[in-house]
Structure 1
Amino acid sequence: MNNINITALAAMSLITGSALAGTPEPVVVEVEPASYVSGTLDLTYNTHFMSYGLDVWGAGQSWSDGTFNPSVNLDYAITDDLTFSIGTWLDINGYGADSIGGDVQEIDFWGGLGYGFGSHSVSLTYQTWVYGGEVEQILDFGYGYDHWLNPSALVHFRLTEGASGGEDGVYFVFGVEPGKEFESFSLSFPVAIGFTPTDGFHGGDSGFGYGSAGVQASYPIGRGWAINGGVTGWYTNDDVTPSNPDEAFVTGNIGISLDF
């Protein structure tokens, strides 16, 4: 239950040669080609498990318990503009029944295509969420614009019912995420709103589902590793998501990531 980012990769470097005077054969300087495959490993502890405005484990205003969410995503550059991505995400804690194994409460898998054109990008991602002894199927359409505000839009289709008790349907999310790069770290300020036209998507009515705003920080520590953390304030509509224990609350996260 997570939201997905798909990026284009660099093309292969050219092998160049130059002839030197006084030698019978040219000297060829070979440049190692850039890899077509890249990826991200993320190991994050979250105070809450949020899914489209749903406070999954009912933490509310409490930070006393949390959940560990490791993930890995691999990107393959089919062309300069077209990328194929696959990945997986886990929810690990001791809250629910043992439905998968140990403290693993959910495993998500995804595969999708991303296409960039100028400052714009679009993506199509198919996901399988395994949790609570059931399997939920998801299809997401995403759009992003490379701008100082970094606006984005996501259309999230629930194709089959899972263990959450919600109805099949659609959820829309619109957001911006301006950021600032400093000498040794970076900050971003994600803001999002979500709504659903589907009655029963989270067991309540259709309509405005949530608004969120936060700050995220990232501090590189070398060799592709970075320490990340932040806080987010949420307002969720009790009519749309009646199972949330609180309408307004703050979540936090801290973790480490590797880009390779």
Structure 2
Amino acid sequence: MKNQSTGNLRFAAITAALGAGLSSAALAGTPEPAPMMTPVAADDSVVSGNLSLDLNSHFISYGFDVWGGGDSFGGDSTFNPALELNFAFTENFTAILGTWWDVNDNAGSPIGGDLQEVDVWAGGSYAFGDLSVTALYQAWMYGGDTEHILDISLAYDCFLSPSVTFHNRLDAGAAAAGGSQDGTVIVPGIEYGFDLGPVSFAVPLNAGFFLDDGFHGFDALGNVTDSGFGYVSIGLNASYAIPCDERFGAWDIHGGVTYYNTQEDVINNPSDSFFTWNVGIGCSF
């Protein structure tokens, strides 16, 4: 599920995981003791989840245009279903399981058919008041190998919803064949949300800072890509809740557009700046 703002669901899934678990504590001054683990009442909903079925114009993995869509605005579009389950064991701790698939005919697949990639993740989120801390181990299975990831994310429930993710590649898997190396990317972000009638809007702003050379392999001249500032993205996303019987979950129609600006010495993309779009349906239960 590679970090996908509008064009990618991986970051969306992590951000959704950050929202799991919720209470309130101070960020400044002397840290307060961690809140006690409180068992969930028997009549509370322990299991919840999210299903999304999205069509994306691009597959963007931490600023990298995987299928080389460039500024074609959809020439290599891909279908990305995703499912995440949350298990609220206490008022503060939530366990997380999820999967994300990449389905398209852009290349031959060792998995079979048009299924290019299957990602799975597991971890948990703990709330310290309005601050939530999430850790997710991820296995990205593609190209006949598995890329291993550990993401540590922090999010604060306040105006602009600030968050930061430390994306740690532990094993490059099939990406190593293209020169990609292990390393860490730091992704800070904010998001502004508002409603216009029945439609909810969000404006996410994210940036990627690479701590290690060669994270995305080689540049156009065959040199190892640099570390440092790699990309910035800003999007406009919209969601409309579909009126339906709540016994079948809360369904929505969503979509959006995201603009990326990437640095060619850090990320070798067909175009340094480009737009992506996505559209899909979702269900929360």
Aligned to 2:137: 126
> In the alignment, which of 31, 56, 60 is matched to residue 50 of structure 1?
60
TM-score calculated relative to the size of structure 2: 0.82
Q: CA deviation at 1:13?
A: 5.7
Q: C-alpha offsets along residues 112-136 of structure 1, whole Å, 9 cap, x if unaligned?
A: 1101122111101000000011101
Aligned equivalent of 1:104: 115
Q: Which runs of 4+ in 1 moved over 4 A?
A: 9-14
In structure 1, the gaps of 5 or more residues are 15-32
The structure whose RCO (Cα within 8 Å, separation 6+) is larger is 2
Question: What amino acid does structure 1 have at the position aligned with 2:58?
Answer: H
Select 2:260's aligned residue among 234, 237, 257.
234
**Following the alignment from structure 2 to structure 1, what is the Cα–Cα distance between the partners of residues 122 and 200?**
29
> Which whole-Å CA distance do the structure 1 matches of 2:61 and 2:145 have between them?
17
Q: 1:35 aligns with which of 45, 49, 52?
A: 45
Given that residues 40 and 258 in structure 1 are in contact (C-alpha distance below 8 angstroms), is that contact kept between their aligned partners in structure 2?
Answer: yes
The structural deviation recorded for 1:8 is 2.2
CA distance in 1, matches of 2:63, 2:235: 14
Greater share of helix residues, 1 or 2? 2
> Percent same amino acid at aligned positions?
47
* Greater displacement, 82-91 / 154-163: 154-163
Is residue 147 of structure 1 aligned with residue 161 of structure 2?
A: no
How far apart are the structure 2 equivalents of 1:180 and 1:119? Answer: 20
Following TM superposition, by how much is the alpha carbon of 1:170 offset from its aligned partner in structure 2, in angstroms?
Answer: 0.5
User: Cα deviations across residues 207-255 of structure 1 (Å, max 9, x unaligned)?
Assistant: 111000010000000340000100000001100112x100000000000
1:8 aligns with 2:26: no
Matched residue, 2:86: 75
Which amino acid in the other structure matches residue 126 of structure 1?
Answer: Y
The alpha-carbon distance between structure 1 residues 123 and 180, as it changes in their structure 2 partners (threshold 3 A), is same
What is the CA distance between 1:90 and its match in structure 2? 0.1
The one-character-per-residue Cα deviations of 1:136-179 (angstroms, maximum 9, x if unpaired) are 10000000011120010000000012222310111110100110
SS at the partner of 1:61?
Answer: helix
| Largest Rg, 1 or 2 | 1
Q: Which amino acid aligns with 1:240?
A: V
**Which amino acid in structure 2 is aligned with residue 231 of structure 1?**
V
The count of residues paired between Structure 1 and Structure 2 equals 241
2:209 and 2:174 map into 1 onto residues whose CA distance is 21
Give the RMSD, CA atoms, in angstroms: 1.5
Alignment partner of 2:124 out of 99, 113, 123? 113
For 1:116 and 1:12, locate their aligned partners in 2 and report how far apart those are by CA, in whole Å: 14
- What is the one-letter code of the residue matched to 1:38? S
Unmatched 5+ stretches in structure 2: 3-9, 24-38, 218-224
What is the CA-CA distance between 1:102 and the residue it aligns to?
Answer: 0.7
1:212 pairs with 219, 224, 233, which one?
A: 233
- C-alpha spacing 1:123/1:191, structure 2 compared with 1 (3 Å): same
TM-score by length of 1: 0.89
Residues in 2 aligned to 1:44 and 1:9: alpha-carbon distance in whole angstroms? 28
Aligned residues of 1:9 and 1:76 also touching (Cα < 8 A): no
What amino acid is the match of 1:94? D
Among 182, 201, 213, the residue aligned to 1:199: 213
